[in-house]
Structure 1
Amino acid sequence: MRVGLLMAGVPGGLWAIFAFGVALALLARGSTQAALIALRDGGILLVGSSAAGAVMGVVIGGGLALVSRRAVGSRAWVPALVGGLLAAVVFPAEIVAVALGTDFGPLEIVVTVLAWPVMTVVAAVRSADIEGRTRRQAWLWTGLARRRQQPSPP
């Protein structure tokens, strides 16, 4: 789930921060109606990107869990390939969230589309951590999972 939230949070979160900043600037200038519209757009971006990230995380994690059960003795590139393919398939959910939150702004959509291959590579590289084969990335694991892995003191 954390990788999905990262994948959605980078483009969507940046646009949401920008929308909230615009809302504050408009409010300071006295344009209450325009500030409320910008605040609404920021909320749509925040909620939509969070929902898209949750869906992406569940799909990628579930797909990798299914693959890891079938391909226990497989090579390391198989989970990376599956993680990348799943990420590439589900990332358009974030593009839709950004499009809805920015009133189909072409610049915002193009920048989010440009983030698509980058986020696909991130999911592919982190796929071994996502499925639990390695635990090199501490931010992917909760404190309880890290404590279980560490040996207990004598």
Structure 2
Amino acid sequence: MTGQGALGRGVRVGLLMAGVPAIPWAALALGIAAVEFLRGGDHDFAARDLRYAGLLTGGTLVAGVLMGSILCGGLVLASRAVTRAWGLSLVGALLGALVFPAVFVVVAVGTDAAYAPLVLTFLAWPVMTLVAAAHSADIVGLTRRHAWLTARLGTRAPVA
């Protein structure tokens, strides 16, 4: 077992965990800003929604990298004592549950604490905890079940 490339795999999982619940709200804010701008009404509303879309997108990226780094660091440290995949899954679930509030904060700030986005993000919390648990052994390098985590960026498949 090696920790080689674990940070990259952890950040990919962190971006997935942060992006799934938050990016749809950024896309919605961008769409609303476009409608308000094209409608020709008050451009202050369009500027506000563009700001929300930027906050949601940038905040999601920052939260995803932070979450993935913490997840990776905790799993690499735990992999020294835990060698079974199910043990790493438990550690990954615990870490995933602990770092997910970062996304909740991003959605709260980017939507002015609107109820629907906050409730749906809260409901995504256990699902993203399971995502962290499912990918824990792959992050550390114990298994290679998920090819998208181990694929190198910028490489092409050979042409037959």
Could you state the TM-score of these two structures normalised by the residue count of structure 2? 0.86
Q: Is the partner of 1:133 in helix, strand or coil?
A: coil
User: Deviation at 1:7?
Assistant: 0.4
**What is the alpha-carbon distance in structure 2 between the residues aligned to residue 110 and residue 118 of structure 1?**
14
Residue aligned with 2:30, SS: helix
SS in 1 for 2:80: helix
Specify which of 35, 51, 57 is matched with residue 46 of structure 1: 57
In 2, distance between residues paired with 1:53 and 1:23?
25
1:29 deviates by: 0.7
Give per-residue Cα distances to partners, 1:24-51, cap 9 Å, x unaligned. Answer: 1111111311111000000000011111
CA distance in structure 1 between the aligned counterparts of 2:133 and 2:85, rounded to whole angstroms: 11
What is the Cα deviation at residue 75 of structure 1? 2.6
Q: 1:4 aligns with which of 11, 14, 20?
A: 14
User: How far 1:142 sits from its partner (Å)?
Assistant: 3.9
Letter in 2 for 1:77: W
Indicate the percent of aligned positions where both proteins have the same amino acid: 53
Write the letter of the residue equivalent to 1:35: A
For structure 1, the residue ranges without an aligned partner over 5 or more in a row are 148-154
Please tell me whether residue 27 in structure 1 is matched to residue 37 in structure 2: yes
Instruction: Give the partner amino acid of 1:38.
Output: D
**2:56 matches 1:63:** no
Q: RMSD of the TM alignment (CA)?
A: 1.6
User: In 2, distance between residues paired with 1:12 and 1:57?
Assistant: 16
Secondary structure of the residue aligned to 1:8 is: helix
Matched, 1:143 2:152: yes
Please say if 1:76 is aligned against 2:76: no
Contact 2:85–2:142 at 8 Å: present in 1 too? no
In the alignment, structure 2 segments of 5+ residues that lack a partner are 1-10
Alpha-carbon distance, 1:76 to partner: 2.1
How far off its partner does 1:88 sit?
Answer: 0.1
Aligned residue pairs: how many? 144
- Alpha-carbon distance in 1 for matches of 2:13, 2:70: 11
